[in-house]
Amino acid sequence: MPRLGRLLAPAVFAAIWWAPLDLKTPAHRLAAIFGAVIVLWITEALPIAVTALLVAPAMIVTGVCDARTAFAPYADPLLFLFVGGFFIARAMARHGLDRRIAAAIVGAPWVGARPRRIRLAFMLAGVLLSMWISNTATTAILLPILVGTFSERTPPEAAEGNVLAMAYACSVGGLGTLVGSPPNLITARLLSETGVEFGFVRWMTFGLPAALLLTAVTYLVLGHLAPTPAGETPVEVEVAERGPWSRGERVTALAFALAVVGWMVPGLLKAAGLELGATLAAALPGGAVALLAASVLFALTDEEGERVLPWSDATQIDWGIIMLFGGGISLGSQMVETGLAEAIGRGFIAATGIESLFALTVTVTVFTIFFTEACSNTASANMIVPLVLGVAVQLGVDPVPPALAVGLAASCAFMLPIATGPNAIAYGSGLVRPRTMMRVGFALNLVCAAVIVGLVTLLA
């Protein structure tokens, strides 16, 4: 596939560049770049972050826009919300705070070492953690704890169902907050260009109900397609005793609490109609709050006298995701500015015959879910959200429901191991058969698509 992509991307670029399209010159040239980028992202002929980095130079040398315009999105303020969040997540992993939280949930008295409750506990743990740290990291943390609950009496089908349930919950849990999953931030950023602002709290009014509802749906679907053992046979839950909190854990918890308070309080005050909320929101944008909260990790030391998060460790965060955001925002912004998104929207309407907001929302939701099976959710959001905004403009409908549907649907691909990090980890455990993942994932894709359409139609 990568070799094919390296051959196909230049061919697609040349074909679109020389095609007699009814577009203005900047839009025509951007269409050629967009076609090549799609090929590179789908085939991963280059690392997707490298492709994103090349978006700005490509637009500059082809004359789509100037250097300042092309590179500005790589330093977009919203990107620093993720930088600070990644720093806090890195400190959590370094000091074991993430594992302590997971163990506390799984070892809660209400679980009672009963199979159905164990499955639900792991799903809730996945949802809670993945709202704040990456869904892939959350799955990697929880999997060894989950495997420890299996015994010789655990049927393979039940173990398989539990692993899938936990992995899927980690994927949908990321919908709850802006920092939970990259498509959330991409969608919010691109919607802001249409004049619709999504702060941390406003996103949660959509994302948190979506995360909880999709978790419940996942639990019910898997309860039917991959049930726990009949009779609720008790199993042994082994959760390692973690001992007293270390200084590193306490400082990390402080940084995390500061970030959450800073993200939520301005939005809550604005929602209550208080003028202070608008003042705080202007003074404390999400990116600034994230970096200020994370600075505690560099200023204070742990019990061994080292910084809670040494810079050598902080540099290990996923900078590629940050660059991917920048490239996607730069590409999406120029698609709107040059009129390319509008032109594609006209073509999409003519080809599909879609005339209503509901039909558009249904179509893009289903398409996004199945498209993401073969493409990263971040790349999917980068490609599809700008197109949806263009189609909505052409139809004269509210762009918020279909754009939100794409942002949510991009995290709901459950069929293939390559679709998401949690899917890959679940498959890599050796406990999940490909045919089971495809069978359960296909049904869950369709059910989640219906839930997302209903949810955004109701809430938006």
Q: Can you give the pLDDT at residue 232? A: 46
Residue 358 domain flag: no
Q: Can you give the pLDDT at residue 14? A: 95
Residue 357 domain flag: no
**Cβ atoms of residues 415 and 437 within 8 Å:** yes
**Cβ atoms of residues 416 and 437 within 8 Å:** yes
Question: pLDDT band at residue 451, thresholds of 50, 70 and 90?
Answer: very high
Residue 410 domain flag: no
In this structure, are 69 and 113 located in the same domain? no
Decide which of 46, 76, 106 is a domain's last residue: 76
In this structure, are 72 and 85 located in the same domain? no
**pLDDT (average), residues 201-217:** 90
Question: pLDDT band at residue 136, thresholds of 50, 70 and 90?
Answer: confident
Q: Is the pLDDT of residue 307 over 50?
A: yes
In this structure, are 166 and 258 located in the same domain? yes
For every residue of 336-381, DSSP letters joined together read HHTTHHHHHHHHHHHHH---SHHHHHHHHHHHHHHHHTSS-HHHHH
Q: Can you give the pLDDT at residue 230? A: 54
In this structure, are 56 and 94 located in the same domain? no
In this structure, are 56 and 121 located in the same domain? no
In whole angstroms, what is the distance from residue 106 CA to residue 174 CA? 19
Q: Which residues are CB-contacts of 329 (< 8 A; sequence separation ≥ 6)?
A: 73, 76, 186, 189, 190, 382
Q: Can you give the pLDDT at residue 234? A: 44
Residue 413 domain flag: no
Q: Can you give the pLDDT at residue 81? A: 79
In this structure, are 32 and 91 located in the same domain? no
**pLDDT (average), residues 193-213:** 85
Q: For 382-439, what is each residue's pLDDT tens digit?
A: 878 888 888 888 888 888 899 999 999 988 888 877 677 788 788 877 788 888 888 8
Lookup result for tokens 């203005």? 24
Decide which of 314, 349, 366 is a domain's last residue: 314
Lookup result for tokens 């490298």? 50
Residue 230 domain flag: yes
Q: Can you give the pLDDT at residue 32? A: 94
Residue 432 domain flag: no
Burial of 60 (0-12, 13-18, 19+ CB in 10 A): middle
**pLDDT (average), residues 202-229:** 87
Q: Is the pLDDT of residue 30 over 90?
A: yes
In this structure, are 14 and 141 located in the same domain? no
**pLDDT (average), residues 305-313:** 93
Q: Can you give the pLDDT at residue 37? A: 87
Decide which of 32, 55, 76 is a domain's last residue: 76
In this structure, are 92 and 35 located in the same domain? no
Among residues 149, 204, 136, 202, the alpha carbon closest in space to that of 428 is found at 136
In this structure, are 119 and 229 located in the same domain? yes
Q: Is the pLDDT of residue 241 over 60?
A: no
In this structure, are 156 and 194 located in the same domain? yes
Q: How many domains does the chain have?
A: 2
Q: For 46-59, what is each residue's pLDDT tens digit?
A: 887 888 899 999 99
In whole angstroms, what is the distance from residue 4 CA to residue 397 CA? 39
Residue 320 domain flag: no
In this structure, are 120 and 58 located in the same domain? no
In whole angstroms, what is the distance from residue 343 CA to residue 263 CA? 37
Q: For 317-359, what is each residue's pLDDT tens digit?
A: 878 878 877 887 888 788 878 888 778 777 777 777 777 889 8
In whole angstroms, what is the distance from residue 372 CA to residue 181 CA? 14
Domain containing residue 24: 1-76
Q: Can you give the pLDDT at residue 152? A: 66
**Cβ atoms of residues 210 and 408 within 8 Å:** yes
Q: Is the pLDDT of residue 62 over 90?
A: yes
Residue 162 domain flag: yes
Lowest mean pLDDT among 261-270, 353-362, 451-460: 261-270
**pLDDT (average), residues 120-131:** 88
In this structure, are 116 and 66 located in the same domain? no
